[in-house]
Amino acid sequence: MNDLLNNSPELVSLLSTYFSQRGKFLAKVINADLKSSPLKSSRQLVEVAQLADIESFKSLEESADVSVSTDTELDDLSSPNTQPLAQTIEKLLIDLIVEQTGYPAESITLEARLLDDLNLDSIKSAEVVAQTAKQIGLEGQVDPSLFANATLNEVVEALQEIQITGNTGTQHFLGATVNTTIQKDPWVRNYLIEYVAESAEQINEFDQLKHKFPVDDLVKSEILIVASSQNRDWAEGLAEELQHKGAQTAIADLMQLQQLYGHDYTHIISILPRETEAAPAAKLEKAITQLRTIGAFPEERSDGDYTSVSYIQFGGGHFGKENNVAAIDTSCTIGFAASLHLERTDLKVRAIDLPLDAESDLLIRAVIEEIVRPDTYLAVGFDSECIRYIPRPCLQDRSTYQDRNILWSNEDVVLVTGGAKGITAECALAWAKQTGVSLALVGSSAHPQDSPTGKSAVEISETLSRFQASGLTCHYYQCDVSDKASLNDLVMVIQEELGTITGVIHGAAVNRAKPVNKSTVEDALSEVKPKIMGALNLSEIFQQETLKLFAGFSSIGAVIGLPGNTWYSFSNEALDLILRDYKQQHPTTEIISIAYSVWSEVGMGAKMGAVSGLSRMGIGAISLQEGVDRFVQLMEQNPGNSQVVIAARIDGRISRQHNFDTWLPPRNSPPQNFKFLEQILMSEPGVETIVRAHLNMTKDSYVLDHIYNGSYLFPTVFGLEAMAQTVAYTLGIDSFTSFRLEDVRLERPIVVHPENGVDIEIHAEVSERVEESESLRIYVEIKTESTGFARAHFAANFVLDKTIELKTYKVPQRLVPLDIEPKKDLYGWLLFQGEKFQRIQEIYSLDSHKMVFLTEQKGSNRENSSDRADGPFLIGDPYYRDSLLHSVQPMVPEDLCLPLGIDSIEIHLNKKQFENYFIGITLRNNTENDQHDTSVIVVNRNGEVIEKLEGYNVKIMEHRSENPTAEELVSPQVRDGQLLYQELNERAQALGVEAPEATLAHLSGLHHLPTQERHQLELPLFFETLHKLLHKLE
C-alpha cells in the first residue's frame, strides 16, 4: 500500500481532492461510488486518507456504518458510478413523502411533481427537500424553496450532482442559483481608543473566548525582572511581593541579560525607564533595544507550555496619551506587545501602564494579578487611585464631527512626506482638490526627471500628472526625512520656491515584515526611521513655526498589533505620541493621526499581498474611495481626539480561529430577557451582531398554536421580536419607543421540526450616518440551518428617527359588533392560528375591501420563564400584532393566504401602556399576481395611530371557491339557503322522495333572547314554510 502511494503522487493528489469534496458523505455508499481502483476496501481508503493527511475522511475508520467486504470492487475515481447514490436519494425522498402525504410508496413515481401531483404545499415541499439533503450530508448546501414544484427526478438529479461535485456555489436549478451569497465591500468605521474603567472581575463571554493559558502558579515560577538603575527600588519591591507568593526571582539590567540567554525563565518582566533621553536618535535606539531584547529573549516552545513576557511602563494609566504625553522610550509598548503576542503563540504577553509615582504596594499587587491572569494578551493601565483601565476601540458617530474652521487656499503650502505614491498620494490629491492648497511632495526616490528609469519613476510621474490635470500646484522633492539636516535644508528650499509651509502630512514609512526574534536592532532602526525620525525631525524643524495642521498616516497595528510587523506597529504608536507631544507644545495647531487598517487597492498591504491573507483571517480591507473620503473628512472636521482608527470589518468568528484576539471593543453580554440571543457569534457594538438560537417546542411553545397545513411555522411577529432584540443589543439600548420597519421581506417560511427543532441565525448591521439629521437604519435578516445560513428567510430594515410624527385616524364614536364571534366563527376553519394568537375580539364591519375590528393586547413579564412564548417582549405583544397580520384573511375567505412582505410598519410603543383594547382597520387596496396588497391601521381610544402597516402583501397559497365571501360571512342567509336547498334536493333525489320545504333566515343574536321573544321571531318562518308546502300541494 505504501509503495503504491509512494510511486503514485498523482493518485494521492486525486484522492486528496476527492476525499476533501466527499469526505462527509454517508460511508455506506462510498464503496459504490468508486470503481476500477487498485484499492480494494474501505480499510485501504482509510489508510490512504491517513497517509495523505486528509482530515475530513479519517473518521471513516471509526464509523459504525463502515461494513464493506474486503473483496468488494470499488468504482474508478475518474468515472463515479452514480446509480447507487441516486437510488439512496430516491428512497429517502420517497420515504419522506410517504410520511407527509400517507400515499403508498409504490404509487409515487419519479415524474410526480411536488405541488401539482403530490398535493404538497410549497412549505411542505421545501421541508421534504431540506430533510432529504440533510440525511445525505448536504444540510444547508441547497435552497429547498427552488424545488417547489420540481419532479422527484429533478430533485434526485440536483442533489446527486451537488453530492458528487461538491460544488454548490455554481449549480443552477430551474433557472435559479443554489446557495450563493451576495458579495459586498466590508463595512468601514471610525473608532477612538478609549480607556474604559473595568474591574478585574468584569469578564464577559467575549473575554472568555480569548483565554488560552491557565492562571500562573507562582510557586512553580522562576521570574526575571529587567530594570535600569532608576527603577531598581520598584523592581525590588515587585520581587519581594513575588517571593512572598512563592516565586523565585532575579533582577538584571539589559546589559546583564545577554549572559542569561538559555535560562528557562517562566516569566520575564521588563520595567521601562521613567526618564527619557534628550537626543531623538538616542531616544529611538533606547526604545527599540529594550523592546527587542526582552521580546526576543524567550526561546520558542513547542511543548504546549508558555513563557510570560510583561512590559511595565509609567504613562499615567492611559499609556502616555493623556495629560502629560509620554516619550517613545518610556511609554510605547502596546503596538509592539500586541504584535509579539500575535506572532508568538507560546507567549503570554502584557503591556501594563502605571502612574509616574507608582510606589504603592497596592499597585505592585495589581501588577502581579494582571501578570498571572489566564489572558494570552492584556493591555491594562492603572491610575494613582489604582483604578483599572482597558484600552478599547469605541465606535464614533461621524455625523457629530465639528468643523475645524481652518481656512485653506492656494497660498497655503503643505509638505507631504511619502506623498508621491500609494495611499498618501491618493488622499493628498483628493484633499487638495477640495481646498486648493499647494503641495510639496517629498519621497526617498529620485525625481523622475533625474532618474527616468528609476524604480518609482513611472508612479511618481503619474501622480504629478494627476495633480497637474486637476489644476493644482504640486512639486516633488527627494529627501531622506530621517536625516534632520537634509530635511531642514529641503524645508528652506520649499519655502523659497512655493511659500510658507502651513501644514504637514507625514506619510513616509517602511514596512519589512519579519518576526521580532529574526530582526536585529539595526534592522528595526532602518525600518522605523522614516516614520519616527521623520516625525521627530519635522516636530523640531517646525518648533518655532505655527502650523495650521499636522497630520500623520498611521496603522491599526499601533493599537492591536500585526503579526510579523512588530516594528511597523511600534513606529505607528510612536507617531501618535510624537503628534500629541507637538499638540501639547502648540495648542493652536490641529493634529490628527489616522490609523488605517489595510486598504484593498493601494498601500503597503496591497503591494505586499497581505489583503487576501488577512481576508482569510476574517479581516476586511478598506476600499480606495472609503479610505480617501474618511481622510478628507478628518482633515476638515475634528473627531474630538488626536488619533482615529479607521477599520474595515473584523469577523471575530474567523479571526479568533487564527488567534487574532487583540481587537477588543467594549462588548457586553446581552440582557437575560433578550431570549433569542442564545449564542453570539459576532459582536461589533454599534455596527454588527450575528447570533443564533435553537427553536423547539419547549422553548418556543407558541409554534404549537401556529400550525399551517401540518407545518409548525415560526411566526413573522416572533421573527420581528427576535430582530428587535438583536438590534437593541447591537445599539446598546434596552427599549424602543417609536420606530419604523421598512421593506419587511418574508421570502421563505421557517419551519420548526416537531422533534429536532431548527437553528436560526439573526444578523443585524447598522448603516453609518454621515449627516446627523439622517435616520439610523439597521438591516436585519434571519437565516436558518435548512439553507446553510446562506439565504435570508425574513429580512427588514429598522429605522430609528429622533422624532416620528404621531398621526390620528377618525373612527366612528359608536361601533356595533356584527353577529360574528371570531373564536367560534372564524378561528379554526378560516384562521389557522391557535388560542394564543386569537386576539380578534369583535368585528364591526366587514366586506371584501375593508374590515374594522377590536383587538386585544396583553402584558407579559415572565422574565424567569425559559419559554419565549411568555415574553417579556421588547416591541410589544406579538400575539396582538399577529392579529393585525391575519386580519386580512376574513376579507378574502376564498383565498387562503400567508404574509409575503410589508413595505412599512410604524410602531408607537409609548402609546400602548395604559390600554388593552384597540380598534383595527384593515383595507384591501388591490389584487394582482396572486397577491393582495393591503394596509392595517390600529388606533387607541383617542384616535391616535399606534401602529400602521402599509404595503402589506399576502400571497394566495390556495383558492377555495366553496368558501363564503366576506359579504356572505356578514349576511349568510342567501348563501346558506342555497346550500341547504341544494343538499335537501340531492338527498331527496338519492332516496327517491320529494324534497321537503324549508325556510332559512339569519336572525342576529337569536340565541341570547328569552324563549318567548325567540318564538315570536321564529313563528313567521314557520308560517312561511307552511305556506310554501300548501302552495306546492295545490
**Residues forming the active site:** 706, 882
Hey, what's the cell of 429?
A: 490629491
Give the torsion through C-alpha atoms of 546, 547, 549, 552, to 10 deg: -120
695 and 754 Cβ atoms separated by less than 8 Å: no
478 and 446 Cβ atoms separated by less than 8 Å: yes
DSSP letters spanning 594-623: EEE--BSSSSHHHHTTHHHHHHHTTB--B-
DSSP letters spanning 911-931: GSTT-SEEEEEEEEEEEETTE
Task: List Cβ neighbours of 805 (8 Å cut-off, separation of 6 or more).
Answer: none
CB-based burial label for 434 (10 Å; 0-12, 13-18, 19+) = exposed
**21 vs 338: CA distance, rounded Å:** 38
Q: Quick one: angle between helices 422-435 and 624-636, nearest 10?
A: 50
According to DSSP H, which parts of 813-908 are helical? 822-825, 878-886
Could you tell me the maximum CA-CA distance found in the chain, to the nearest angstrom? 132
981 and 938 Cβ atoms separated by less than 8 Å: no
Task: Name the nearest CA neighbour of 717 among 853, 841, 899.
Answer: 899
Q: Is the torsion defined by CA of 810, 816, 820, 823 positive or negative?
A: positive
* Number of CB atoms found within 10 A of residue 15's CB: 23
Task: Name the nearest CA neighbour of 507 among 592, 622, 425.
Answer: 425
**557 vs 565: CA distance, rounded Å:** 8
Q: In whole angstroms, what separates CA 303 from the centre of its chain?
A: 36
Distance set, CA 822 to CA 504, 721, 883, 903, 912 (Å)? 75, 26, 11, 28, 23
| CA R_g for the chain | 37
Rounded to the nearest 5°, which phi and psi values hold at 521? -60, -40
* Number of CB atoms found within 10 A of residue 741's CB: 21
* Number of CB atoms found within 10 A of residue 250's CB: 14
527 and 441 Cβ atoms separated by less than 8 Å: no
407 and 434 Cβ atoms separated by less than 8 Å: no
> Which amino acid, one-letter code, is at 24?
K
